[in-house]
Structure 1
Protein backbone atom coordinates (compact mmCIF):
# COMPACT_ATOMS: atom_id res chain seq x y z
CA UNK A 1 0.00 0.00 0.00
CA UNK A 2 2.93 2.45 0.13
CA UNK A 3 3.26 5.49 2.35
CA UNK A 4 1.98 3.86 5.51
CA UNK A 5 2.08 6.15 8.52
CA UNK A 6 1.31 4.86 11.95
CA UNK A 7 0.85 7.98 13.97
CA UNK A 8 1.48 11.66 14.21
CA UNK A 9 4.01 12.80 11.61
CA UNK A 10 4.31 16.42 12.74
CA UNK A 11 2.81 19.83 12.16
CA UNK A 12 2.70 21.60 8.79
CA UNK A 13 6.22 22.00 7.47
CA UNK A 14 7.61 19.58 10.07
CA UNK A 15 6.68 16.25 8.59
CA UNK A 16 9.16 14.17 10.51
CA UNK A 17 12.06 14.54 8.09
CA UNK A 18 15.53 15.75 8.96
CA UNK A 19 15.89 19.43 9.85
CA UNK A 20 17.05 21.70 7.03
CA UNK A 21 20.48 23.16 7.40
CA UNK A 22 22.48 25.79 5.58
CA UNK A 23 19.67 28.26 4.92
CA UNK A 24 20.86 31.82 5.41
CA UNK A 25 18.49 34.75 5.60
CA UNK A 26 19.38 38.44 5.58
CA UNK A 27 17.31 41.37 6.70
CA UNK A 28 17.64 45.10 7.02
CA UNK A 29 16.61 46.94 10.11
CA UNK A 30 13.43 48.99 9.60
CA UNK A 31 15.30 51.94 11.09
CA UNK A 32 17.97 51.73 8.40
CA UNK A 33 15.50 51.80 5.51
CA UNK A 34 14.28 54.93 3.80
CA UNK A 35 10.92 53.85 2.42
CA UNK A 36 10.02 57.20 0.83
CA UNK A 37 13.46 58.22 -0.41
CA UNK A 38 12.91 60.12 -3.66
CA UNK A 39 9.20 59.29 -3.76
CA UNK A 40 8.05 62.88 -4.26
CA UNK A 41 10.62 63.51 -6.99
CA UNK A 42 9.77 60.26 -8.79
CA UNK A 43 6.03 60.84 -8.44
CA UNK A 44 6.21 64.31 -9.97
CA UNK A 45 8.34 63.30 -12.97
CA UNK A 46 6.50 60.01 -13.56
CA UNK A 47 3.19 61.87 -13.54
CA UNK A 48 4.51 64.49 -15.96
CA UNK A 49 5.89 61.80 -18.28
CA UNK A 50 2.67 59.78 -18.26
CA UNK A 51 0.43 62.79 -18.80
CA UNK A 52 2.56 64.07 -21.67
CA UNK A 53 2.58 60.63 -23.32
CA UNK A 54 -1.24 60.43 -23.18
CA UNK A 55 -2.03 64.09 -23.92
CA UNK A 56 -2.45 63.53 -27.66
CA UNK A 57 -5.08 60.86 -27.05
CA UNK A 58 -7.10 63.16 -24.79
CA UNK A 59 -6.65 66.68 -26.18
CA UNK A 60 -7.38 65.95 -29.86
CA UNK A 61 -10.69 64.12 -29.28
CA UNK A 62 -11.69 66.70 -26.66
CA UNK A 63 -11.02 69.52 -29.13
CA UNK A 64 -13.03 67.77 -31.86
CA UNK A 65 -15.88 67.08 -29.44
CA UNK A 66 -15.83 70.68 -28.23
CA UNK A 67 -15.96 71.99 -31.80
CA UNK A 68 -18.89 69.71 -32.65
CA UNK A 69 -20.81 70.73 -29.50
CA UNK A 70 -20.31 74.48 -29.99
CA UNK A 71 -21.22 74.35 -33.69
CA UNK A 72 -24.31 72.24 -32.89
CA UNK A 73 -25.40 74.72 -30.22
CA UNK A 74 -24.93 77.66 -32.60
CA UNK A 75 -26.87 75.86 -35.33
CA UNK A 76 -29.66 75.02 -32.87
CA UNK A 77 -29.88 78.63 -31.72
CA UNK A 78 -30.02 79.77 -35.34
CA UNK A 79 -32.77 77.31 -36.26
CA UNK A 80 -34.86 78.51 -33.31
CA UNK A 81 -34.43 82.16 -34.35
CA UNK A 82 -36.80 83.98 -36.71
CA UNK A 83 -34.41 83.76 -39.67
CA UNK A 84 -33.74 80.08 -39.01
CA UNK A 85 -37.44 79.24 -38.92
CA UNK A 86 -37.96 81.02 -42.24
CA UNK A 87 -35.05 79.10 -43.78
CA UNK A 88 -36.35 75.80 -42.42
CA UNK A 89 -39.86 76.57 -43.68
CA UNK A 90 -38.47 77.40 -47.13
CA UNK A 91 -36.57 74.09 -47.25
CA UNK A 92 -39.59 71.97 -46.27
CA UNK A 93 -42.12 73.79 -48.47
Structure 2
Protein backbone atom coordinates (compact mmCIF):
# COMPACT_ATOMS: atom_id res chain seq x y z
CA UNK A 1 0.00 0.00 0.00
CA UNK A 2 1.23 3.43 -0.88
CA UNK A 3 -0.53 6.42 0.62
CA UNK A 4 -3.41 4.29 1.85
CA UNK A 5 -4.35 3.08 -1.65
CA UNK A 6 -3.58 -0.32 -3.12
CA UNK A 7 -1.49 0.11 -6.28
CA UNK A 8 -2.73 -3.00 -8.04
CA UNK A 9 -0.79 -5.49 -10.10
CA UNK A 10 1.92 -4.41 -12.57
CA UNK A 11 0.39 -2.21 -15.26
CA UNK A 12 -2.72 -1.50 -13.19
CA UNK A 13 -1.33 1.05 -10.79
CA UNK A 14 -4.64 2.50 -9.62
CA UNK A 15 -4.87 5.28 -12.22
CA UNK A 16 -8.25 6.17 -13.73
CA UNK A 17 -9.24 4.28 -16.87
CA UNK A 18 -8.01 5.87 -20.06
CA UNK A 19 -10.56 7.02 -22.60
CA UNK A 20 -10.43 7.44 -26.35
CA UNK A 21 -8.02 4.58 -27.06
CA UNK A 22 -9.24 2.22 -29.77
CA UNK A 23 -7.85 -1.29 -29.83
CA UNK A 24 -8.19 -3.45 -32.92
CA UNK A 25 -7.43 -7.14 -32.89
CA UNK A 26 -7.16 -9.53 -35.81
CA UNK A 27 -7.83 -13.17 -35.16
CA UNK A 28 -4.77 -15.41 -35.63
CA UNK A 29 -6.90 -17.52 -37.94
CA UNK A 30 -7.44 -14.54 -40.25
CA UNK A 31 -3.79 -13.58 -40.51
CA UNK A 32 -1.47 -14.66 -43.27
CA UNK A 33 1.88 -14.16 -41.62
CA UNK A 34 3.99 -15.35 -44.55
CA UNK A 35 1.80 -14.11 -47.39
CA UNK A 36 4.16 -13.23 -50.24
CA UNK A 37 7.27 -13.73 -48.09
CA UNK A 38 9.13 -15.87 -50.63
CA UNK A 39 8.31 -13.49 -53.49
CA UNK A 40 9.42 -10.46 -51.49
CA UNK A 41 12.56 -12.20 -50.24
CA UNK A 42 13.74 -13.04 -53.76
CA UNK A 43 13.20 -9.59 -55.22
CA UNK A 44 14.32 -7.70 -52.13
CA UNK A 45 17.52 -9.76 -51.99
CA UNK A 46 18.16 -9.14 -55.70
CA UNK A 47 17.62 -5.40 -55.24
CA UNK A 48 19.97 -5.23 -52.26
CA UNK A 49 22.69 -7.31 -53.90
CA UNK A 50 22.64 -5.28 -57.11
CA UNK A 51 22.73 -2.09 -55.03
CA UNK A 52 25.88 -3.24 -53.24
CA UNK A 53 27.59 -5.03 -56.16
CA UNK A 54 29.84 -2.08 -57.01
CA UNK A 55 31.02 -1.71 -53.40
CA UNK A 56 31.84 -5.40 -53.14
CA UNK A 57 32.87 -6.22 -56.72
CA UNK A 58 35.50 -3.51 -57.21
CA UNK A 59 37.55 -4.31 -54.08
CA UNK A 60 37.25 -8.06 -54.76
CA UNK A 61 38.38 -7.53 -58.37
CA UNK A 62 41.33 -5.38 -57.30
CA UNK A 63 42.27 -7.87 -54.58
CA UNK A 64 42.14 -10.77 -57.03
CA UNK A 65 44.22 -8.85 -59.58
CA UNK A 66 46.84 -8.00 -56.93
CA UNK A 67 46.92 -11.60 -55.71
CA UNK A 68 47.30 -12.97 -59.25
CA UNK A 69 50.05 -10.48 -60.06
CA UNK A 70 51.90 -11.30 -56.83
CA UNK A 71 51.66 -15.04 -57.39
CA UNK A 72 52.87 -14.74 -61.00
CA UNK A 73 55.67 -12.36 -59.99
CA UNK A 74 56.77 -14.71 -57.23
CA UNK A 75 56.93 -17.66 -59.65
CA UNK A 76 58.89 -15.55 -62.14
CA UNK A 77 61.40 -14.48 -59.45
CA UNK A 78 61.94 -18.14 -58.55
CA UNK A 79 62.73 -19.00 -62.19
CA UNK A 80 66.15 -18.87 -63.84
CA UNK A 81 65.18 -15.77 -65.77
CA UNK A 82 64.06 -13.98 -62.57
CA UNK A 83 67.29 -14.85 -60.76
CA UNK A 84 69.36 -13.66 -63.68
CA UNK A 85 67.38 -10.42 -63.95
CA UNK A 86 67.75 -9.53 -60.27
CA UNK A 87 71.28 -10.85 -59.87
CA UNK A 88 70.35 -13.36 -57.18
CA UNK A 89 72.22 -16.63 -56.74
> What TM-score range do you get, normalising by the shorter chain?
0.7 to 0.9
Report matched runs for 1:42-81 at 5 Å: 42-81=40-79
Larger-Rg structure: 1
Report matched runs for 1:78-89 at 5 Å: 78-89=76-87
Q: TM-score, normalised by structure 1?
A: 0.77
Report how many residues are paired: 85
Cα distance change, pair 35–87 in 1 and its aligned pair in 2 (3 A): same
**TM-align CA RMSD:** 2.2
CA deviation after TM superposition for structure 1 residue 44, in Å: 0.4
Cα distance change, pair 86–19 in 1 and its aligned pair in 2 (3 A): closer
Cα distance change, pair 79–48 in 1 and its aligned pair in 2 (3 A): same
Secondary structure of the structure 2 residue equivalent to 1:69? helix
Question: 4+ residue stretches of structure 1 with deviation over 6 A?
Answer: none
- Would you say 1:39 and 2:37 are equivalent positions? yes
- Provide the residue aligned with 2:8 in structure 1: 11
Cα distance change, pair 70–9 in 1 and its aligned pair in 2 (3 A): same
Structure 2 residues not aligned, in runs of 5+:
none
